């Protein structure tokens, strides 16, 4: 099964053998089920719990719908079969529950529902918000009320688990992933989820005193329940590709294929370095036999490091060691015990370190269960330059690994949903998968994160409060992106109060000269300005205390997009206010920061430093005259990165905005030449794209997957011409390519382009549009109309 279980958004299936009483609207009604927990265990401390409930059914049901949630997390089993993992991450006032039809897993007679629920306590990931330990399961109607969570459920606190603290000193970087798992097999209640397990010694669950309720009801906060709006995560098997190194033990490819167990002698310490071949997100499942008291440590890493903690070529292992997150499993001597961590792990390299005692240990099998948001690659891209395929494939792997129940900045170190990353990820999702659901959830998450000053938080959900005002601006732009690509006016309109709050915060901090005044919080723009111990901050351009051309122009960039949104919803006076403000900011920046001698926009009125960032935004906002923009952008790309005329270079993240400027100025032909850093990453053995140029922390960072979007929007030239993507504008930029074939999903169907350049510089090919879509094809200043269906095109 590729998916664990589908979410039911429309509960309309018939039931067989049960009363046809309509189910209540659980989004607007107090639940009759109770939040339950262990009767004596601390509710806000580390603990892993198992819940069970048995019921009898007269016959196998055709429909058996329940609504389920937990804090922090749960894994639900029916008759021994794992059927769901949740809840989708959010905050306590927007706490998700899953709606599941369990009928396929149930039978006539006795049925057992079982749930593993855990609270990581102090070791909870920062991305996981929490109130306290709890579990709730609500039957949808009279037919299912017998499984409602109450004191009839039994519960057991599992003593086998203890946390493994991440060694921050060893990894020497920012890590907020939470603790690893240590499981002592001798204390584990094996088979607890199976129908035949004897739970007579388990205790009755305790009911929490407050009612179970959807968001918006009642006098107390606790968990405000809301239905999950995204599909369940994919889970599919993956196997490691190679045994790269062994010490004091033998292992061959047969073990990786599940065909040849590996044996570790008694009283031995053996290590096995295994290579997935590419970074993945997966639940590793290790099965062992014998070896009573043996300790198996699983260490996960994106890459190996040398003595100087440098990664180098990711394929090389000589002189390199593994430093990463750990899990541990302590064998109890029995046959075929399987360890699986509570949460997925990210790794290319996985090292097994086995320390046996008096009994030998047999490693029976090790495989992973890949997990992630179930994006499907519906777009395609092929050109006369076949080397671009590796960038496409690696970019898509990067985007996939950075998407789960939320978008992730990086899956290995943080798994936090940052606005700056998410804007780029969302466009990739729309263009490559045609799926807007995770983007919509992210926009809503950020709206929920707003605090009293009017800004959004920089990342959300997050238990650690962090504010990046520039990311609040990009949240506004992200709403604009959604509006341009999808027809969903009610949703977009609901974001307007938050948008105005963000815009007002920035307007209030403008100086009299029209540039930004002193800016508090963290005004991150790009890692081009590195972190320093002295400042305790990085990524911030000059002028943070007033007079930054980059920060001021980003405000203008956002004001223009906000003006479009406000005008669309009839707020014309406010829309014109922000448009006029954007124009005034542009004028002030040009007046104060333009350096005639350099022919560039400086970072501040002092005109001592220059960056690609300021000049890119000057192009995107029309702060410099349109007629000068192409030349300015060309100069920006060719100025040196060091020396007396140095210009600060955009790193992978901000190159997205460089690419957008190429598109705007008609310089899209230069996109392919700008991809040298991505080719360099591939030459370094990376299997996903990194956070920043070497030395980089994260080897997998979604903002660096932006070429996928640009291949379709610049090279193939496919862009919405009107809000809601009601019409399309296609303006391809082939550069040195002779052919390009592309396809992208549109809400009405696929847009397909096939283009060839003629020897004289013309364009021929075909364009296929969905049956309800029309548009325009542009090529070198000329344009022709496009109609629905497949049509030949020639532009000479």
What pLDDT does 327 receive?
Answer: 97
What pLDDT does 221 receive?
Answer: 75
Alpha-carbon span 398 to 391, nearest angstrom: 10
Average pLDDT of 699-725?
Answer: 98
Q: What is residue 786's three-state secondary structure? A: strand
Total count of residues recorded for the chain: 796
What pLDDT does 168 receive?
Answer: 66
Strands of 29-185 (E only): list them: 36-37, 47-57, 65-71, 73-78, 81-86, 95-101, 109-119, 134-139, 154-157, 161-164, 180-184
What pLDDT does 14 receive?
Answer: 31
Residue pLDDT, tens place only, 228-251: 999 999 999 999 999 999 999 999
Cβ contacts of residue 87 below 8 Å, gap of 6+? 68, 69, 70, 73, 74, 95, 96, 97, 98, 228
Residue pLDDT, tens place only, 254-281: 999 999 999 999 999 999 999 999 999 9
Domain 234-372 in CATH 3.40.50.2000? The answer is: no
Residue 537 — very low, low, confident or very high, per pLDDT cuts 50/70/90? Answer: confident
Alpha-carbon span 192 to 226, nearest angstrom: 30
Residue pLDDT, tens place only, 449-489: 999 999 999 999 999 999 999 999 999 999 999 999 999 99
Average pLDDT of 185-206?
Answer: 98
Q: Which residues pair with 73 in a beta bridge?
A: 118
What pLDDT does 213 receive?
Answer: 94
Domain ranges of the chain: 36-161+183-227, 234-372, 538-670, 716-796
Alpha-carbon span 177 to 325, nearest angstrom: 9
Burial (CB < 10 A; 0-12, 13-18, 19+), residue 614, is buried
Q: In the chain, pLDDT over 90 holds for what percent of residues?
A: 93
DSSP secondary structure of 713-728: IIIS-EEESSGGG-EE
Residue 533 — very low, low, confident or very high, per pLDDT cuts 50/70/90? Answer: confident
What pLDDT does 1 receive?
Answer: 40
Greater confidence, 221 or 556?
556
Q: Is the pLDDT of residue 671 over 70?
A: yes
Other Cβ atoms closer than 10 A to 721: 14
| Helix pair 612-621, 549-568: axis angle to 10 deg | 30
Residue pLDDT, tens place only, 564-606: 999 999 999 999 999 999 999 999 999 999 999 999 999 999 9
Q: Which residues pair with 365 in a beta bridge?
A: 287
CB 123 within 8 A of CB 163: yes
Cβ contacts of residue 534 below 8 Å, gap of 6+? none
Average pLDDT, the chain: 95
What pLDDT does 280 receive?
Answer: 98
What pLDDT does 580 receive?
Answer: 98
Integer-rounded Cα radius of gyration of the chain? 28
Domain 36-161+183-227 in CATH 2.60.120.260? The answer is: yes
Residue 652 — very low, low, confident or very high, per pLDDT cuts 50/70/90? Answer: very high
Query: Which DSSP state fits 774?
Result: E
Average pLDDT of 20-37?
Answer: 88
Residue pLDDT, tens place only, 727-757: 999 999 999 999 999 999 999 999 999 999 9
Strands of 637-773 (E only): list them: 718-720, 727-730, 739-746, 749-757, 763-769
What pLDDT does 17 receive?
Answer: 35
Residue 220 — very low, low, confident or very high, per pLDDT cuts 50/70/90? Answer: confident
Q: Is the pLDDT of residue 9 over 90?
A: no
Alpha-carbon span 71 to 404, nearest angstrom: 18
Average pLDDT of 31-43?
Answer: 97
Average pLDDT of 549-573?
Answer: 98
What pLDDT does 13 receive?
Answer: 32
Alpha-carbon span 37 to 50, nearest angstrom: 10
**Out of 47-51, 226-230, 537-541, 607-611, which region has the weakest mean confidence (pLDDT)?**
537-541
Alpha-carbon span 516 to 497, nearest angstrom: 23
Fold of 716-796: Maltose phosphorylase, domain 3 (2.60.420)
Give the helix/strand (H/E) hosting 283.
strand 269-290
What pLDDT does 173 receive?
Answer: 82
Tokens of residue 535, six digits: 């400042």
What pLDDT does 8 receive?
Answer: 40
CB 456 within 8 A of CB 507: no
Put residue 731 in one of left, alpha, beta given phi > 0 → left and psi -120 to 50 → alpha.
beta
Specify the long-range contacts of residues 624-629, CB closer than 8 Å, at least 24 apart.
624/590, 624/594, 629/661, 629/664, 629/665
Alpha-carbon span 754 to 739, nearest angstrom: 8
Cβ contacts of residue 549 below 8 Å, gap of 6+? 515, 543, 589, 592, 593, 601, 602, 603, 604, 614, 617, 618
Q: What's the order of all strands across the beta sheet hosting 154-157?
A: 81-86, 73-78, 109-119, 47-57, 154-157, 203-204
Say which CATH class 538-670 falls into: mainly alpha
Residue pLDDT, tens place only, 778-795: 999 999 999 999 999 999
Residue 50 — very low, low, confident or very high, per pLDDT cuts 50/70/90? Answer: very high
What pLDDT does 169 receive?
Answer: 67
What pLDDT does 172 receive?
Answer: 73
Q: Is the pLDDT of residue 51 over 60?
A: yes
**Out of 14-28, 74-88, 260-274, 634-648, which region has the weakest mean confidence (pLDDT)?**
14-28
CB 717 within 8 A of CB 732: yes
Alpha-carbon span 296 to 180, nearest angstrom: 13
Residue 35 — very low, low, confident or very high, per pLDDT cuts 50/70/90? Answer: very high
CB 467 within 8 A of CB 457: yes
Q: Do domains 234-372 and 538-670 have the same CATH topology?
A: no
Q: What angle do CA 211, 214, 220 make, to 5 degrees?
A: 50
Q: Is the pLDDT of residue 621 over 70?
A: yes
Widest CA span in the chain? 87
């Amino acid at each position: 099964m590729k998916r664990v279980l589908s979410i039911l958004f429309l509960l309309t299936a018939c039931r067989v053998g049960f009363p046809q009483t309509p189910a209540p609207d659980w989004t607007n009604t107090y639940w009759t089920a109770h939040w339950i927990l262990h009767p004596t265990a601390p509710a806000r401390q580390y603990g892993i719990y198992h819940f069970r409930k048995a019921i009898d059914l007269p016959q196998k049901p055709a429909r058996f719908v329940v609504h389920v949630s937990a804090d922090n997390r749960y894994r639900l089993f029916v008759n021994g079969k794992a059927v769901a993992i949740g809840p989708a991450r959010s905050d306590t006032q927007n706490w998700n529950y899953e709606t599941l039809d369990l009928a396929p897993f149930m039978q006539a007679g006795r049925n057992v529902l079982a749930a593993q629920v855990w609270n990581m306590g102090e070791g909870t990931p920062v991305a996981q918000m929490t109130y306290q330990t709890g579990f709730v399961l609500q039957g949808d109607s009279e037919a299912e009320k017998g499984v409602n969570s109450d004191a009839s459920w039994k519960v057991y606190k599992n003593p086998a688990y203890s946390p493994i603290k991440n060694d921050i000193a060893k990894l020497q970087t920012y890590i907020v992933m939470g603790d690893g798992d240590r499981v002592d097999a001798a204390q584990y209640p094996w088979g607890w989820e199976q129908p035949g397990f004897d739970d007579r010694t388990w205790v009755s669950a305790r009911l929490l005193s407050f009612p179970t309720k959807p968001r918006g009801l009642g006098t107390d906060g606790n968990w405000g329940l809301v239905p999950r709006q995204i599909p369940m995560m994919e889970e599919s098997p993956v196997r490691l590709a190679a045994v790269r190194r062994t010490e004091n033990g033998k292992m061959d490819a047969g073990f990786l294929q599940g065909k040849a167990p590996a044996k570790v002698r008694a009283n031995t310490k053996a290590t096995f370095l295994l290579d997935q071949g590419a970074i993945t997100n997966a639940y590793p499942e290790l099965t062992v036999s014998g070896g009573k008291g043996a300790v198996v440590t699983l260490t996960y890493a994106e890459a190996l490091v040398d003595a100087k903690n440098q990664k180098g070529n990711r394929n090389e292992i000589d002189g390199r060691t593994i430093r990463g997150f750990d899990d541990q499993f302590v064998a109890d001597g029995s046959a075929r015990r399987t360890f699986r961590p509570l949460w997925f792990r990210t790794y290319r390299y996985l090292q097994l370190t086995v320390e046996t005692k008096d009994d030998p240990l047999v490693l029976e099998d090790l495989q992973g269960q890949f997990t992630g948001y179930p994006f499907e690659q519906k777009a395609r891209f092929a050109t006369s330059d076949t080397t671009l395929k590796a960038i496409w494939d690696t970019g898509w792997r990067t985007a996939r690994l950075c998407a789960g129940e939320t978008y992730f900045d990086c899956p290995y170190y943080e798994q936090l949903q940052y606005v700056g990353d998410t804007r780029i990820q969302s466009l990739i999702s729309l263009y490559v998968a045609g799926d807007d659901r995770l983007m919509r959830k992210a926009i809503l998450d950020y709206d929920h994160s707003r605090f009293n000053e009017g800004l959004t938080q920089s990342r959300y959900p997050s238990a650690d409060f962090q504010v990046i005002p520039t990311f609040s601006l990009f949240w506004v732009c992200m709403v604009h992106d959604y509006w341009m690509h999808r027809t969903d006016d009610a949703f977009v309109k609901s974001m307007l109060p938050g948008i105005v709050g963000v815009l007002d915060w920035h307007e209030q901090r403008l100086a009299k000269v029209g540039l930004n005044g002193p800016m508090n919080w963290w005004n991150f723009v790009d890692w081009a300005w590195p972190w320093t111990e002295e400042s305790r901050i990085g990524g911030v351009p000059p002028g943070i205390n007033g007079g930054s051309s980059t920060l001021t122009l980003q405000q203008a960039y956002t004001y223009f997009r906000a003006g479009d949104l406000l005008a669309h919803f009839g707020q014309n006076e406010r829309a014109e206010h922000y448009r006029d403000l954007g124009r005034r900011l542009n004028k002030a920046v040009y007046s104060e920061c333009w350096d005639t001698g350099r022919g560039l926009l400086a970072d501040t009125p002092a005109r001592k430093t220059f960056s690609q960032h300021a000049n890119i935004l000057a192009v995107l906002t029309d702060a410099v005259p349109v007629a000068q923009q192409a030349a300015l952008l060309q100069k920006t790309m060719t100025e040196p990165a060091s020396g007396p005329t140095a210009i600060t270079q955009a790193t992978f993240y901000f190159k997205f905005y460089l690419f957008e400027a190429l598109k705007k100025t008609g310089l899209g032909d230069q996109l392919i030449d700008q991809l040298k850093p991505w080719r360099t990453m591939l030459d370094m053995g990376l299997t996903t794209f990194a956070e920043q140029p070497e030395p980089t922390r994260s080897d997998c960072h979604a903002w660096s997957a932006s070429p996928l979007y640009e291949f379709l929007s610049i090279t193939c030239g496919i862009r919405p011409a009107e809000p809601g993507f009601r019409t399309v504008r296609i303006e391809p930029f082939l550069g040195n390519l002779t052919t390009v074939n592309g396809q992208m999903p549109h809400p009405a169907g696929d847009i397909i382009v096939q283009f060839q350049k003629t020897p004289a510089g013309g364009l021929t090919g075909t364009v296929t549009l969905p049956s309800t879509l029309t548009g325009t094809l542009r090529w070198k200043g000329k344009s022709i109309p496009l109609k629905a269906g497949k049509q030949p095109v020639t532009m000479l």
